[in-house]
C-alpha cells in the first residue's frame, strides 16, 4: 500500500458504520483538511473516539453538526452546543469519559492490553455498568481498551516511510491513536527523506501513510 495518498483518496477509506479516532484538543492538532473532506463526503453512522466534540464550525464539530456520528466517546462536549442537543434529544449516543481514562483506554488499545484499573470514577455515575475490583483494600474500575478502524491525526512532519514527528502540544492524543487503529492516516505539513529530521522529538510509525 502506498505510503503517500491524496486527501480525496484517504477519505474514501472511511466507510459508513466505521469507528474512527480523530486527534486534536479543541481543534488544536486536528487534521482539518481531512475533517473538511469527510464533512462533505456524506459518510454516516460513524462511531467517533475523540477528546471532545470540537466547535460547531471548527474541527470535528463540523461532522457532529452534520449528524455523521451515531455514537461519540469523548471527555467533554461543552464547546459544541449541537452535540449537547443531539445527546439530550436522543439523536446521538454520547459516552462521556474522564480525559485521563480516555487517553489510557486508547493507549491500551494500541498496546494490546486487556484494560487497566483506575480509581477515577469510583462512587460516581462513571462506575455504572463497570466491573469494580479491589486491590490492596482499594476499589478500582476496570476500564477496557478502545480501538478504531481508522485513526486520522495531524503531525508536523513525516518521512517517506511513514514515521511522524509531532510539534509541541499538538501531539496530544495523536501518538496513542496512531497505534490503536487498523489504518492510520496522518495529515502532515512536510514530507522529508528518511533520516532527515531537523529537530527530532517524537517519531512514530504509522500503519498506512502520510498524506499531502
pLDDT tens digit sequence for 81-107: 999 999 999 999 999 999 999 999 999
Task: Please give the sequence-ordered ranges of beta strands (E in DSSP) within 27-147, or none if there are none.
Answer: 46-50, 69-74, 93-96, 116-118, 132-135, 138-143
- Return d(Cα 134, Cα 104) in angstroms, integer: 20
196: in domain: yes
Domain count for the chain:
1
46: burial class by Cβ within 10 Å (0-12, 13-18, 19+)? buried
Report which of 6, 35, 15 is spatially closest to residue 152, judged by C-alpha positions.
35
Q: What is the pLDDT of residue 209?
A: 41
164: in domain: yes
For residue 159, the enclosing domain spans: 16-96+147-211
Phi, psi of 158 (to 5 degrees): -140, 150
| Cell 459518510, residue located | 43
- Return d(Cα 152, Cα 92) in angstroms, integer: 21
Q: 156-175 pLDDT, tens per residue?
A: 888 887 888 888 777 788 88
Residue 202 has pLDDT above 50, yes or no: no
107: in domain: no
123: in domain: no
Q: 5-14 pLDDT, tens per residue?
A: 888 899 999 9
CATH number at residue 67: 3.40.1080.10
List all residues 6 or more positions away from 89 whose beta carbon is below 8 Å from its beta carbon.
Answer: none
139: in domain: no
- Return d(Cα 97, Cα 130) in angstroms, integer: 13
Residue 206 has pLDDT above 70, yes or no: no
Q: 13-55 pLDDT, tens per residue?
A: 999 999 999 999 988 889 999 999 999 999 999 999 999 999 9
Amino acid at each position: 500500500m502506498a505510503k503517500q495518498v491524496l486527501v480525496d483518496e484517504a477519505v474514501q477509506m472511511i466507510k459508513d458504520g466505521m469507528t474512527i479516532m480523530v486527534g486534536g484538543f479543541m481543534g488544536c492538532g486536528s487534521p482539518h483538511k481531512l475533517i473538511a473532506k469527510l464533512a462533505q463526503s456524506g459518510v454516516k453512522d460513524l462511531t467517533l473516539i475523540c477528546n471532545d466534540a470540537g466547535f460547531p464550525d471548527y474541527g470535528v464539530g463540523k461532522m457532529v453538526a452534520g449528524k455523521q456520528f451515531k455514537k461519540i466517546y469523548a471527555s467533554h462536549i461543552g464547546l459544541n452546543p449541537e452535540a449537547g442537543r443531539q445527546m439530550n434529544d436522543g439523536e446521538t449516543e454520547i459516552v462521556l469519559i474522564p480525559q485521563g481514562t480516555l487517553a489510557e483506554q486508547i493507549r491500551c488499545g494500541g498496546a494490546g492490553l486487556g484494560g487497566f484499573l483506575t480509581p477515577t470514577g469510583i462512587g460516581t455515575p462513571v462506575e455504572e455498568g463497570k466491573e469494580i475490583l479491589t486491590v490492596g483494600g482499594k476499589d478500582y474500575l476496570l476500564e477496557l481498551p478502545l480501538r478504531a478502524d481508522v485513526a486520522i491525526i495531524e503531525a508536523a512532519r513525516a518521512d517517506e516511510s511513514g514515521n511522524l514527528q509531532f510539534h509541541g502540544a499538538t501531539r496530544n492524543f495523536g501518538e496513542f491513536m496512531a497505534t490503536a487503529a487498523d489504518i492510520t492516516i496522518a495529515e502532515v505539513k512536510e514530507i522529508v527523506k528518511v533520516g532527515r529530521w531537523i529537530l527530532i522529538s517524537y517519531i512514530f510509525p504509522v500503519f498506512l501513510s502520510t498524506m499531502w
